[in-house]
Amino acid sequence: MADMLTLRNALLQVPGVRFVRPSGAVEDEMAKLVKQPKLPENATLVEDSVFRAIDVTRRDETGFTHFLDGSQFVRRVGFHGLQPVLVAHVSAAIVERIDREIKAPRPENYRVSQKLYVPSSFPGDREDPHFVRVALDDCGAGSAATLKYKEAIEDERKSQEDELSKQFREGVLLIDGGIDEALRGAAGGKFIVGLVKSHETQYFATPDRVQTIIELKEGQRTTVFERPAMGKSQQEVFSFYLKLREDPYSSPMFGLARIEVAPSDEMLKQVDAISSWLMHERAPLSLPDPRYDRLLYPIRLVEQYLKAHQPSEVKISQITRL
Amino acid sequence: MQIGRVIGTERNPNTAYTFTFWTPPTERNVGIGTLVKVVSEEETIYGMVVEAHGFNDLASPLHEYMAFDGDPAANSPTIRPEMRVFEANVLRRQPEEPVSAVPIGNVFLADEADVQCALRTDRYAEAFGIPAGCYGSKDDPLAVHLHQEFLLGPESGHLNMTGTSGLAAKTSYILFLLQSIFQHYKDGDGPGEKGVATLLFNTKGGDLLYLDQEALEQPSELDNAIYARCGLQYKPFDKVRYYAPLMRDGVNLNTLRRNEALEGTNPTRTLTFGLTDVVRHAEVLLNRDDLDAKADGYLQHLNNEYVLNHRPESIGGLPVEQAKNIDALVAIVRRHLKDAEHKGEPTYKTHHVHTIRKMLNRLDNLGNRFQGLIATGKDARAQGPTEDEEGFQDRTVYVVDVAQLGTEEQDLVFAALITRLRERMEEQRLGVGRLVVVVDELNKYAPSGGSETYVVKSLKEIAARGRYLGLTLFGAQQFRSRVDKEVVGNAATHAFGHIEVEELSQPGYSYFGAAVKEKLGSLEPGEVLIKHPHFAQPIFIRFPRPSVMKGSDGMRKFQRAEPVLPQDLIRQLCRARGMTENSISDALGALSDSPENFTDVLRELRRLPAGVHPSVALAKGKRAPVAMDKKTSIISEEQDPFG
């Protein structure tokens, strides 16, 4: 991984780069930007013909042994013309839980990169590995360009997570996010579950199905449906909604997670068990994180580990010397 | 093995003398008082842990309650990561300069070499070290040494020990330390720097009366390990001399050691005070009201004229002999009164008859009140450890037993002996290079805010100057805050056993952190916190049970004998010195059988140096008159050619 001084030297080779004080405002900007989702259609049900709420049997046990998550840290450090120059520290890790203790990831289960994100028109050596050139086309210098940067950084993160999940072999892995890429081209037999916290993409259009989802009670799930192939992976998965927590005074999305499993009959049979494991994983609470209603504690610990290894603001300022 | 890492945050940075480090919760060897070593590229820092914190990532107790739905028995599949964070004070750094903030580095438990380096004992353990106990775990105790010249002088000196009574803290530790001193002390080069001895006061029970006897209980494994590590032999003191006053009968000793077996092996010597002590310490013997300026003036006149003066002035024209005992002094006072009466005057030499009569009353009573302690008889000499002709002897323990005396009597003994010791110290006539005086209940004898009595003055003098002159004070008390600050403050070495919480709340303990105070409040027997000039911080150490017989065991094994008649006592003492029964009977038969005669002979016997035959003392007694009759005459009437 390139250190800050190396990245600074790489920028100094390029004429016309203007250094600015590192700013985290770009992360806030990125957080607000989402790709416009496709309008939903009703997904195909696979478990039952009726889309309904199903009570999850509560058991004080869990089968999850490993947890995967990724994290990024982005700062704007300069401009080339009107286009920003960003530095992004992207990392992902799989941690193992032994005797209730989450262990630090082994080296082979940790991925990290630290690079400069620049527009594709950025001068200099196009093969220089310190730069990730983002095709801005005719986005201009506004939020559209920022969205491109965001996608590029998220792609880097996703590729790290996918690489880790692909090499996962033994145990039961819970991924923070979708599992389609993890399943692509994978040999059968891997026990992987994905927990998706965001609901940008909807899979049901009709009001009754939407009502079923938003009226789920704590400890209930929906009928399993097939999430169609999409994105780069073009891999379909089985999915269902699970209500981890309930709060009548919060949004209907409070405590609502969408779970993904491999599309197979064996996994279909495991859905109840997986649901009860997820319900059991709600303790300890991930407070004070505002996403505590859907952020399971082991995933939070992975995040904490990754964030602990991210550069500090002081370290970032080594690039700009400002 | 590395156990942790130093951390320093902006909010809580490390300083030149304090640092913080973390360990995983599985690390069980670190606690309050643990010595650690920090290793960084630039330096090595030694520290002692003074506070411990433990926490995990729980932000609020309510979150925990919510997570488990209020059920404390519920379990979660993941436990929160926990860490322990310790604060430590710096003991030493290498290199010693520059003195900068403690760097971020790796933390290790201190091993033996580290402990010696941290406490600076590596510089002096060989040449001047006195093992004071052991640091470390029970499995691996490491000896800790005090510097002889800083414990006993002359560099600095004196020890002050604080501990709750009855918890095997003060006396046990002091005895162990004395054992260590006796076995490790190295003589100085000068002529007056050879030898070390100690003087102790047994003020209650029999704690200090069997120091020459082996302990009945076998030492524990830990005790053995500590003795071995400290290079000490587990054995009682080789040479111990006991002193005790007489009972009111003037014959038997007033001590729990009154036992024939003990008298046979190590006889208890007599402790008495002469007239000069009585006059000198009148303030101890008389009430404050008795000793106003007029009475004090008259007393000084008596002392100067009739006690110290070999040729006293006459009274009413008649010669007067120097007063050798209290009775003689009382007789002189009576003569003063008579003289004034005879002359019809209200005064005798400016001293009013009322004053003289008052002093007569008090002095006449003294012999009665302190019977057994104040020497009487024609040869009323003071006897005691400071009167022995040969002076204090090397590696000898002198025990003065005052446990059977009342408070006033104890005060007299204490005042007289401490004053004499101070004088000997000033005159450099102690007889050994170092004499350690052990004084318990310092809050009684040198109370803070109390009046300047002889005792207080003497103790302050000893505390201030004793280290240069060979006299070291080992003081002990339950309440350090109630002891005179000069006496405590002049001690270079301080030891703390278990201390009550109320005492710990006093300002004098503000030097210690909260965790150290908590530990002091719950310290087990066999542990002390020791502060010494060479240690940058006080450290916790263990010490073993003393290798001498406990007082309770001694009293059970050597039961106190009932008081006996003087002739029976003479018989016992002669038997102990190897005389046969027959020769004893013959010798006694030759003596006048008056109780006074037997008492005088007994006194001589007790004064006899070791190795001298008892017949020397017996010869000083009055002979019984030889009855002359016709049958026993050497020349009979029939045989007398001249009859």
A273-291 pLDDT, tens digit each: 999 999 999 999 999 999 9
Among candidates A280, A285, A287 on the partner chain, residue whose Cβ is nearest the Cβ of B77: A280
CB contact under 8 Å between B67 and A284, yes or no, is yes
What span, in angstroms and rounded, lies between the C-alpha atoms of B264 and B239?
A: 15
A200 touching B, CB under 8 A?
no
Q: Which residue of A has its CA nearest to B59?
A: A288
C-alpha B402 chain-centroid distance: 12
Residues ≥6 apart with Cβ < 8 Å to B147: B121, B124, B128, B129, B130, B155, B532, B533, B534
> What's the pLDDT score for residue A280?
95
B79 touching A, CB under 8 A?
yes
What span, in angstroms and rounded, lies between the C-alpha atoms of A112 and A90?
A: 6
| Alpha-carbon separation of residue B404 from B203, B256, B443 (angstroms) | 8, 8, 21
A297 touching B, CB under 8 A?
yes
C-alpha B618 chain-centroid distance: 36
Q: For B304, which DSSP code?
A: I
What span, in angstroms and rounded, lies between the C-alpha atoms of B202 and B567?
A: 29
ipTM of the complex: 0.84
Q: Which residue of B has its CA nearest to A298?
A: B78
A288 touching B, CB under 8 A?
yes
Instruction: Give me the average pLDDT of each 10-residue run along chain B (643 residues).
Output: 93 96 92 95 95 92 89 90 94 94 96 92 90 91 93 89 83 95 88 86 88 92 94 94 90 89 86 81 66 81 86 86 85 90 88 88 80 73 79 93 86 84 83 90 86 81 86 92 92 94 91 91 92 92 93 92 87 85 87 80 79 83 67 50 49
Among candidates B57, B59, B67 on the partner chain, residue whose Cβ is nearest the Cβ of A283: B67
> What's the pLDDT score for residue B640?
47
pLDDT tens across A172-229, in order? 999 999 888 778 755 566 899 999 998 888 888 888 899 999 999 999 999 999 988 7
How many CB pairs lie under 8 A apart between chains A and B? 50
> Shortest Cα distance from A269 to chain B (angstroms)?
23
> What's the pLDDT score for residue A15?
85
What span, in angstroms and rounded, lies between the C-alpha atoms of B520 and B498?
A: 5
- Taking contacts as CB-CB distances below 8 angstroms, the residues of chain A near B58 are 284
Among candidates B63, B74, B79 on the partner chain, residue whose Cβ is nearest the Cβ of A285: B63
CB contact under 8 Å between B78 and A297, yes or no, is yes
- Report DSSP letters for B154-215, one per residue: SSSB-EEEE--TTSS-HHHHHHHHHHHHHHH----SSGGG--EEEEEEE-STTTTS-TTS--
What span, in angstroms and rounded, lies between the C-alpha atoms of B641 and B267?
A: 56
Is residue A124 scored above 80 in pLDDT? Answer: yes
Of B472, B534, B475, B469, nearest to B192 by C-alpha is: B469
Look at residue B355 and give its three-state secondary structure: helix
Residues ≥6 apart with Cβ < 8 Å to B29: B3, B109, B137
B76, A284 contact by CB (below 8 A): yes
The residue among A102, A172, A174, A287 with the most chain B CBs within 10 A of its CB, best to mutate, is: A287
> What's the pLDDT score for residue B627?
62
The residue among B5, B10, B76 with the most chain A CBs within 10 A of its CB, best to mutate, is: B76
Is residue A272 scored above 80 in pLDDT? Answer: yes
- Taking contacts as CB-CB distances below 8 angstroms, the residues of chain B near A301 are 78, 81
CB contact under 8 Å between B76 and A288, yes or no, is no
A285 touching B, CB under 8 A?
yes
First to last CA, chain A: 23
The structure tokens 């488990």 sit at B68
CB contact under 8 Å between A102 and B81, yes or no, is yes
- Taking contacts as CB-CB distances below 8 angstroms, the residues of chain B near A101 are 78-79, 81
Residue B643, judged by CB atoms within 10 A of its CB (0-12, 13-18, 19+), counts as exposed
> Shortest Cα distance from B70 to chain A (angstroms)?
12
What span, in angstroms and rounded, lies between the C-alpha atoms of A20 and B615?
A: 110
Q: Which residue of B has its CA nearest to A304?
A: B57
Of A95, A244, A239, nearest to A164 by C-alpha is: A95
A301 touching B, CB under 8 A?
yes
> What's the pLDDT score for residue B444?
85
What span, in angstroms and rounded, lies between the C-alpha atoms of B384 and B245?
A: 9
Look at residue B399 and give its three-state secondary structure: strand
Among candidates B67, B74, B81 on the partner chain, residue whose Cβ is nearest the Cβ of A285: B67
Residue B217, judged by CB atoms within 10 A of its CB (0-12, 13-18, 19+), counts as exposed
Of B419, B420, B402, B401, nearest to B410 by C-alpha is: B402
- Taking contacts as CB-CB distances below 8 angstroms, the residues of chain B near A100 are 76-79
- Taking contacts as CB-CB distances below 8 angstroms, the residues of chain B near A104 are none
> What's the pLDDT score for residue A56?
95
> What's the pLDDT score for residue B213?
94
CB contact under 8 Å between A101 and B66, yes or no, is no
Q: Count CA atoms within 13 Å of residue B253 on its CB side.
A: 29
Q: Which residue of B has its CA nearest to A277?
A: B77
The structure tokens 């620049």 sit at A118
> What's the pLDDT score for residue B255?
92
pLDDT tens across A90-120, in order? 999 999 999 999 999 999 999 999 999 998 8
Look at residue B413 and give its three-state secondary structure: helix
| Percent of chain A scoring above 70 in pLDDT | 94
CB contact under 8 Å between A301 and B60, yes or no, is no
CB B370: neighbour CB atoms within 10 A? Answer: 22
> What's the pLDDT score for residue B378?
63
- The pTM (predicted TM-score) of the whole model is 0.80
A273 touching B, CB under 8 A?
no
Tokens, residue B68: 């488990």
CB contact under 8 Å between A287 and B60, yes or no, is yes
- Taking contacts as CB-CB distances below 8 angstroms, the residues of chain B near A102 are 78, 81
> Shortest Cα distance from A192 to chain B (angstroms)?
18
What span, in angstroms and rounded, lies between the C-alpha atoms of A243 and A238?
A: 17
> Shortest Cα distance from B98 to chain A (angstroms)?
27
